[in-house]
Amino acid sequence: MESANHLTTGGQAERVIVISLVKSGTHLIQELMVALGYGMYGHSRITDDIRPILDQDTRWRIARMIYDEPMLKLLGEASEESFLKTTDEAWDAYAMAWQMKFGMPLVNRYGAELPRTELVERARSRTVSTDFADTPPGVCWIFIEFDVKKIDGRFLREWAQTGVSRKTHNSARSIDRGFKRGSPQKD
């Protein structure tokens, strides 16, 4: 999803969604996105060194969405190590909630327990009315599928209303079609 109001000053989109089919070179696309400065989240192998780097303000914003007042008070008094660990857990729950908004089959991928934890359920209920533009900038969401019939309607409305959508499909067919036209494929 990209439009003029979602670009960084360098012309890059603040947030990116990449759909790369299994065994189609996802790791190469991921390496490219990391080289462009994005932190990765999604269905490829995400190691700690390529996870999104969240600044203090973003960590607090996500924590306020996920945690209740007593926990936020404790978080304000926590050591830096504890703050980072707790806000990483909040990010994981928040990102899992967004995967649900994107219609991802999380039970198939993670088992029934993880998507149903209290923290993820809280994140899900508190992010229902949030937009993709509210997700942290600098994140590339990478998926191996993206079924439009399962995606949250609010996201689809936002996507349709904010400008030209640009998706990166990593498949031989889309690459072939793009080269035959002489320019990158726009979907």
Beta bridge partners of 41: 141
Q: What's the pTM?
A: 0.77
d(CA 66, CA 89): 10
Ranges assigned E (strand) in the chain: 15-20, 39-42, 139-143, 168-170
Closest CA to 140 of 170, 162, 118, 182: 170
The whole-number pLDDT of residue 112 equals: 65
> What are the distances in angstroms from CA 17 to CA 33, 35, 75, 137, 140?
11, 16, 31, 12, 6
Q: Is the pLDDT of residue 25 over 90?
A: no
Which pLDDT value is given to residue 174? 38
Domain boundaries, the chain: 1-52+136-187, 53-131
Pair 55, 136: CB distance under 8 Å: no
**Cα–Cα distance, 27 to 32 (Å, whole number):** 9
* Whether residue 45 has pLDDT greater than 60: yes
Are the C-beta atoms of residues 66 and 34 closer than 8 Å to each other?
no
Q: How confident is the model at residue 175 (pLDDT cuts 50, 70, 90)?
A: very low
> String of b and e for 36-54 (b: at least 16 CB within 10 Å)?
eebbbbbbbeeeeebbbeb
| Digit-coded pLDDT (tens) for 67-111 | 999 999 999 999 999 999 999 999 999 999 999 899 888 766 666
d(CA 187, CA 180): 15
pLDDT in tens, 111-144: 667 767 889 899 999 988 999 999 999 999 998 8
* Average pLDDT of the segment spanning 152-174: 66
List for the chain the helix, strand, coil content (%; round to 5): 55, 10, 35
